[in-house]
Amino acid sequence: MSITLRIILIIASLISSFLCIKRIKQSKLKVENSIVWMIGSIILILMSIFSNAVEWLSSKLGFMAPVNFVFLIVIVFLLIQTFINNIKIAMLNEKIKDLNHYIALEEYERKSK
Amino acid sequence: MSKVLIIIPAYNESQNIEKTVKDVIENTDYDYVIINDCSKDNTKEVCEKNNFNIISLPINCGLTSGIQIGMKYAYKHGYDIAIQFDGDGQHQAKYLKELVKEIENKNCDIAIGSRFITKKKPKNMRMLGSSLLTGAIKLTTLKTIKDPTSGMRAYNKKAIEKFIQNASLTPEPDTLVYMIKKGLKIKEIQVEMKEREFGESYLNPIKSMQYMVNMFFSILFIRAVTIKNK
């Protein structure tokens, strides 16, 4: 891994951790939601620091360049995140629909009394 | 005599709803309920002015949600049969008795008001879609449903309970596959439908394509592997 990439990864991770903590303090983000981002940042920082280990592992796994391996990990991480978000949105939709029905039926009962 | 509820979902149907409901009241002696899916026009006011039985949803959640709340209402008030009936004036209430009769005589669990039992399908893009759906249903269930997209359907208590239990059920063809797989019997009865007089249908070419893709995916990959006993 080139030194530039390592520096970029470290800076990006630090910025994202900083933003996470700031959002939590402003109570715009929940602790349990931020943990996954913090862990992601920590992994990226570790990968930048111990780049020899990443290089060794990526060559063992048959990647053309270690940077590809890093990108793959980031992409997989993001895909999992979007999938989880998708499920959460569907659940929220279902909850909104149930609430919608509940309110409408209550209103109806109240009016017909 | 069984208790029958007619569910009329309505979204922006202020021009059609009055006529539809009067048709229902004059031609049948069943209960009805209008589900106003948060219409942007004055559908609600028109219904209230005429003293119609109306449930108004505070947020727009689409047709599926409208039918589901109708089913909840039917279940809560102990109705034996629930009929889904379009609020746009395309359906005629005089055919509902035949649908109810089929269910009362225990010939079927779900009765569909079909346009193409004795008549031939006209050849256009929309009917091509309908035929493809018929094919998909035949492929997965070995049953022939000639008018799968018909919006005039009567459900008995067993089918209403399925709607209550499974929130993913829609008032669309894929639900028919689910019901057949669950062992319910479906029968079609010849009816006639009118063209809509006012307002616009929600189906434009892009939405129709989306609809077809959704239906095919749902029928072939999700509903086809429904397990009968749960």
pTM comes to 0.83
Q: Which residues of chain A lie closer than 8 angstroms to B65, CB-CB?
A: 97, 100-101
How does A76-100 read in b/e, with b if 16+ C-beta sit within 10 Å?
eeeeeeeeeeeeeeeeeeeeebeeb
Q: Decide if A105 touches B, using CB distance below 8 A.
A: yes
B229, pLDDT greater than 70? no
Contact B160, B75 (CB under 8 A): yes
Q: Name the residue range of residue A89's domain.
A: 3-112
Interatomic CA distance for residues A41 and A9, integer angstroms: 9
Q: Which residues of chain A lie closer than 8 angstroms to B55, CB-CB?
A: 104-105, 107-108
CATH topology of domain B4-225: Spore Coat Polysaccharide Biosynthesis Protein SpsA; Chain A (3.90.550)
Reported ipTM? 0.84
pLDDT digits (tens, 9 = 90+) for B29-85: 899 999 999 999 888 899 989 999 999 999 998 889 999 999 999 999 999 999 999
Closest residue in A to B166 (Cα) is: A94
pLDDT digits (tens, 9 = 90+) for A21-36: 888 888 888 888 888 8
pLDDT of residue B79: 93
Interatomic CA distance for residues B222 and A105, integer angstroms: 31
Interatomic CA distance for residues A64 and A58, integer angstroms: 8
Q: Which residues of chain A lie closer than 8 angstroms to B58, CB-CB?
A: 100, 103-104, 107
The minimum CA-CA distance between A88 and chain B, rounded to whole Å, is 16
The minimum CA-CA distance between B201 and chain A, rounded to whole Å, is 23
Interatomic CA distance for residues A60 and A54, integer angstroms: 10
pLDDT digits (tens, 9 = 90+) for B150-172: 889 999 999 999 999 988 898 88
Structural domain boundaries in chain B: 4-225
Count how many domains chain A has. 1
- E strand or H helix at A84, and its extent? helix A66-112
pLDDT digits (tens, 9 = 90+) for A89-110: 999 999 999 999 999 999 999 9
Determine, for residues A96 and B61 on separate chains, whether the beta-carbon distance falls below 8 Å: yes
Interatomic CA distance for residues B98 and B114, integer angstroms: 12
Can you count the helices (H) and strands (E) in chain A? 4, 0
